[in-house]
Amino acid sequence: MSDKIKFLRFGGLSSVKQKHYLPDHNKDKTFHNPPRKKGIYAFPQNCVDKFLLGATSHPAQKNAKAYWVKDEKGNLVSSDELDYDNGEYIASKKLKKILKFRKIKLTNVYYQQKRHISYEEREADDYEDTEEYYLTTFVKPKIFTYEGEIWHHFLDDTKPNEILGRSGDWILSTYVDYCKIFRRVKHKDLSWIHESYGEYSDDSLKFNEMANKVYKYSGGLSVAIDHLEVFIEKV
């Protein structure tokens, strides 16, 4: 089979107990609650939704998916060194030098408060966001191959004969079928970008040129990629 899909994960590949698992009959079960009590979350390679990593992305947390960006002297780097303009992050001269020295990609840099603040604390009525922010970057992820059964969110694009099971908003399929379904979803998302772009610009986009950018496009339109997460019970 051509175009085999590899997967990416920030963390180990051993199955872990999922604290947020809820049975299907639980009314509080959401789109992202795991379909099984044990397993791991992952993404197709080059399709990471970094927002979904937020729950464990603070360097102070156990098994954090990120660490502090530090200058040549080991000092934390202030978020003031990173600006945002017209949909793109812009590094200061100082930050560019640090990133080159540390061999860090700008696309992997974001900012956090030095102290880890829980969700409950942020939601409290008396919470005030007064602490300084510093730059962090993601740890190097693991790229791995896996060709067993896989849970995914592609319900609308999955044929009945490609469904092995269902749990909440998750569908279980064979790896071979998953790859077929993923290509359908990618083509649909690419078509949406292509058609929508034409509504706002006189410029034309060549369909094939966008094929490898469908989940990276930054020209004013984008496709949400949280539906691309997968769940694997055992690698």
The 3-state DSSP class for residue 171 equals: strand
* 37: DSSP letter: S
Confidence label for 165 from pLDDT (cuts 50, 70 and 90): very high
| Percentage of residues of the chain with pLDDT beyond 70 | 82
Q: Could you state, in order of their start, the residue ranges of all structural domains in the chain?
A: 7-232
CB 98 within 8 A of CB 91: no
Q: How does DSSP assign 1-33, residue by residue?
A: --SPPPEEESS-SS-EE-TT---TT-TT--TTS
* pLDDT tens string 87-144: 678 999 999 999 999 999 898 888 888 887 776 777 777 777 778 899 999 888 899 9
In sequence order, the 6+-apart residues with CB closer than 8 A to the CB of 140 are: none
* pLDDT tens string 15-59: 999 988 999 888 888 888 999 999 999 999 888 766 666 566 788
pLDDT over threshold 80, residue 187: yes
Question: What tokens does 210 get?
Answer: 């966008």
Return the pLDDT at 227: 87
As a whole number of angstroms, the distance between CA 117 and CA 134 comes to 14
Average pLDDT over the chain reads 84
As a whole number of angstroms, the distance between CA 97 and CA 94 comes to 5
pTM of the entire predicted model? 0.76
Higher pLDDT, 197 or 173: 173
As a whole number of angstroms, the distance between CA 41 and CA 18 comes to 10
Neighbours of 27 (CB within 10 A): 5
